[in-house]
Amino acid sequence: MHIAIAGNIGSGKTTLTQLLSDHYGWEPHFEDVEENPYLNDFYNDMQRWSFNLQVYFLNSRFNQILEIRKSGKTIIQDRTIYEDAYIFAPNLHAMNLMTTRDFENYFSFSE
């Protein structure tokens, strides 16, 4: 079984994921922030790195989903792949932090 928590940044998704994992014995999967090669660059220059960051997250979460399906375990995840495609990328584009060309290219990856 695959359970995913969705919510805003700082809303407690990771904490809830850990609590539910501990309580039910589910295996937690957390958003990869420490090994993310774009996160620091993104916060230093959001417009330059937003596309790279979103493609990284999309790829990372897709690979997590593939691993989850193969595992046969009950996994709880602290972020969904849908949030990247339908919330974060459009918001970055709306805030002029992702160019129209990059935004259109991003959706060619995510569809």
**Residue 29 to residue 14: CA distance in whole angstroms:** 9
Residue 79: other Cβ atoms inside 10 A: 24
Strand intervals (E) in 1-111? 2-4, 27-29, 75-77
Instruction: Identify the active-site residue in 22, 32, 78, 84.
Output: 78
Residue 32 known to be catalytic: no
Helix (H, G, I), strand (E, B) or coil at 3: strand
Residue 78: other Cβ atoms inside 10 A: 21
Retrieve residue 28's tokens.
């937690």
Strand partners, 29: 77
- Catalytic residue numbers read 78
